[in-house]
Amino acid sequence: MDHAALDEIIRSRRTIKPPMMSDRPVSEEDLRALFENANWAPTHGLTEPWRFKIYRGEARAKLADALAMLYETALPAEDQKEGKADKLREMARLAPVVILVCMERQKVEKIRELEEIESVACAVQNMHLTAASRGLGAFWSTPPFIYKPEMNEWLGLEEKDRCLGIFYLGYPAEGQKWPKGRRRSVDGKLEFIDT
């Protein structure tokens, strides 16, 4: 195992938003690797609740209009911001691949919903890391309307399923520097209990 390589990927993974992406298509091989690795996320009770809807090519225009429409209809007017619907429309058109991250609720509801959400988050992290290792930028976006019933309806999800994010994916645009990350030291977040 190459520990140093793993450390490097984890620490250099960065959020790169669609305006910083090129329109270069994402290779089938890279995309497949993302989903294969997502599929190896930990999952309580082996429910494997992650589901992905992948928009590419012309389908992005349809998605772009739907996201703008959902923003304007699913959110109360007082929660809407000037220009946000247009921004959503633009982002879905700029990124070569847009993945709607969903959670399929287990029918028997034996596993807690929180744990199913956690499991999907692990799957997203696997995708994010795989993207970084292949020089791909990604952005996990969670505008509040994705949690509304209107979103489920548009996606054809069951009532208890959830959309947990919009994952934009693409290679960084030419001349675009890989962003630098920052974190506060982990030391203040640890409490070792040894005796």
Ligand X SMILES: Cc1cc2nc3c(=O)[nH]c(=O)nc-3n(C[C@H](O)[C@H](O)[C@H](O)COP(=O)(O)O)c2cc1C
Residues forming contacts to ligand X in the complex (CB under 6 A) are 14-15, 140-142, 181
Nearest to ligand X of 57, 83 (CB atom): 83
Nearest to ligand X of 15, 22 (CB atom): 15
CB of residue 195 to ligand X, shortest distance in Å: 35
CB of residue 23 to ligand X, shortest distance in Å: 21
d(CA 51, CA 58): 21
CB of residue 181 to ligand X, shortest distance in Å: 5
Nearest to ligand X of 15, 106 (CB atom): 15
d(CA 136, CA 130): 8
Q: What is the 3-state secondary structure (H, E, C) of the chain?
A: CCHHHHHHHHHHCCECCHHHECCCCCCHHHHHHHHHHHCCCCCHHHCCCEEEEEEECCHHHHHHHHHHHHHHHHCCHHHCCCCHHHHHHHHHHHCCEEEEEEECCCCCCCCCHHHHHHHHHHHHHHHHHHHHHCCCEEEEECCHHHHCHHHHHHHCCCCCCEEEEEEEEECECCCCCCCCCCCCCHHHHCCCCCC
Nearest to ligand X of 81, 107 (CB atom): 81
Name the residue whose CB lies closest to ligand X: 15
CB of residue 10 to ligand X, shortest distance in Å: 10
Nearest to ligand X of 35, 140 (CB atom): 140
CB of residue 15 to ligand X, shortest distance in Å: 4
